Amino acid sequence: MKNKSQSSFSSKYWLIIISVVCVILLGIERFTDGGGPLRFIAGYTVIPMQEGISYVGRFMSDLSDNFETLDEMKKANEKLQSKVDELTTDNTRLRQEQYELERLRELYKLDENYSDYEKIGAHVIANNGSNWFATFTIDKGTLDGVKVDSNVLAGSGLVGIVTEVGPNYAQVRSIIDDASNVSAMMLSTSDTCMVRGDLELMSDGRLHFEKLPNNDNVVEPGEQVVTSHVSSRFLQGLFIGYVSDIDVDANNLTRSGYITPAVDFSKLQEVLVITTTKREMTGGEDTGEGE
Amino acid sequence: MKRKLITLLIILVCFLLESSVFHRLSFASVKPNLLIVVTSSFGFMRGKKEGMFVGFSAGLLADLFWGNALGFNMLLYAVIGYMNGSFKRMFYDDDVKLPIVLIGASELVYGLSTYACVYMLQGDFAFFSYLFGIILPELVYTILVTLILYQIILHINKKLEAEEQRSASKFV
């Protein structure tokens, strides 16, 4: 009997110790950023395992791709061929316009060219295991030039932003995460708005936008939305998605609605990381907590 | 020592599975919470102390890789492990009802406290959309997974216990 009461005392004792440790850790986290040594150790132990698992996963999906029939491949090839033709004509037209643009830029002495950022490819090696956040881990880190606030793309669209970086991995918060806010603009009218992730919309992969001025500029579903020139963390002109729904707010001053992103967030495998951050590009001025 | 290593291995495997395989197996973009199953079942199988430490390590992994504040999940999982530990006396190997009820309750506590501490404190009061969109689907899926995962954990635990008993009787 005595023995039993002793053991229950010691487990209570442990509970108190653990609670105090956790509360202290939460407090420390409040005042410093980054997890320090613990994250460092985790980066070298758990990340390689995640890399291994995702490698096996990729191998398996490659293997299943191999079983596609020749017929399907032929069809796909035909479709792609016609697409290539289409794009070639497009490309020549665009190139002509590019020359014209360059000439005009020289005239205006606009030396900033936003179209070609330096990018590196990365694999998504792990997703967030809880249902409350939409973050993922990639297999490139500081050693490859990834920094905190680097923008992440997949295909043609914006995926997210690096929030935490280790030597060989980086944590990316996708734009559909509840905590994500992106300063964006309508491509044709250049009106700025805020694109906000929402946990309720996360399951159908949509985004919410708000604070679009209710002016005379007509914005219709299908309008392209890109990152804005006033954003302090996102580079200008990265494609976010298409407007799918738009309504005037009750205050009659702003408009809000929904965006269908250009990226399918449920099937992310490879992403591109832009290694220059907006802060470096604007010369390291601290624009504050803007977003 | 062997028990500790194997326990740690179980936690790690569940953590890795959850962030890779179950992401693809998610229904309606909800995945089950394997770490709660592990924490809770070690709690009622082995008692308060072990449940607490399993919860602590599971929470540590979750915080380091999925969360945004180190310490929150650690505390939550440790308390859940401890709570489950107090049901050790009511636990019998062949009874599957108690484990399912306990794991379900732990999952509910986890969901509700995550909502309360992360979203409600931000001023987001759409409680029912979170309840029906995430907490309850996650609960159902977790219980489905429990039916399989719990049997595996139970089996491993039984083997370990038998081995410990054998080596204990050898030395006495």
| Domain containing residue B108: CATH number | 1.10.1760
Question: Residue B119, Cα to own-chain centre: how many angstroms?
Answer: 22
CA dist B19 and A149 (Å) reads 23
Instruction: Give the one of B56, B67, B68 whose C-beta lies nearest to A18's C-beta.
Output: B56
Any domain includes A33? yes
Average pLDDT for A215-227: 88
Tell me what pLDDT residue A2 has: 44
Whether A133 sits inside 8 A of B67 (CB atoms) is yes
Total domains, chain B: 1
Tell me whether B133 touches chain A (CB under 8 Å): yes
Q: Do A42 and B56 touch (CB under 8 A)?
A: no
- Same structural domain, A153 and A211: yes
* Mean pLDDT score, A67-90: 85
* Angstrom distances, CA of residue B40 to CA of A251, A267, B17, B107: 49, 31, 18, 9
Residues A58 and A86 in one domain: no
pLDDT value, residue B79: 93
Residue A227: DSSP 8-state:
E
Q: What is the pLDDT of residue A291?
A: 42
Which structural domain range is residue A78 located in?
Answer: 68-108
Q: Which two tokens stand for residue A112?
A: 């900033």
* Owning domain of residue B135: 2-171
Same domain, A129 and A273: yes
Helix (H, G, I), strand (E, B) or coil at A173: strand
A198 and A125 in a single domain? The answer is yes
Q: Mean pLDDT lowest for which of A97-101, A164-168, B112-116?
A: A97-101
Is there a single domain that holds both residue A103 and residue A160? no
> Is B71 touching A (CB cutoff 8 A)?
yes
Residue B156: its pLDDT value, please? 92
Q: Does residue A154 share a domain with residue A132? A: yes
Cα distance between residue A220 and residue B24, in whole Å: 34
Same domain, A89 and A160: no
**A133 with A240, same domain?**
yes
A290 — pLDDT class (breaks 50, 70, 90): very low
Kindly provide the ipTM of the predicted complex, given to two decimals.
0.76
- pTM (two decimals): 0.76
Min CA distance, B154 vs chain A (Å)? 23
Query: Do A61 and A187 lie in a common domain?
Result: no
Give the H or E element holding residue B45. helix B34-46
* Distance in angstroms (rounded) separating the CA atoms of residues A160 and B95: 47
Mean of the pLDDT values across residues B54-68?
87
Average pLDDT over residues A213-234: 88
**CA dihedral (A21, A23, A26, A30) positive or negative:** negative
- Please indicate, yes or no, whether residues A14 and A157 belong to a single structural domain of this protein: no
Residues A220 and A174 in one domain: yes
Q: What is the CATH number of the domain that holds A264?
A: 2.40.10.340
* Strand A224-227 to A254-261 pairing: unpaired
Average pLDDT over residues A241-268: 89
Q: Are residues A20 and A80 in the same domain?
A: no
What's the rounded mean pLDDT across residues A209-214?
A: 90
- Tally of domains in chain A: 3
- How buried is A260 (Cβ within 10 angstroms: 0-12 exposed, 13-18 middle, 19+ buried)? middle
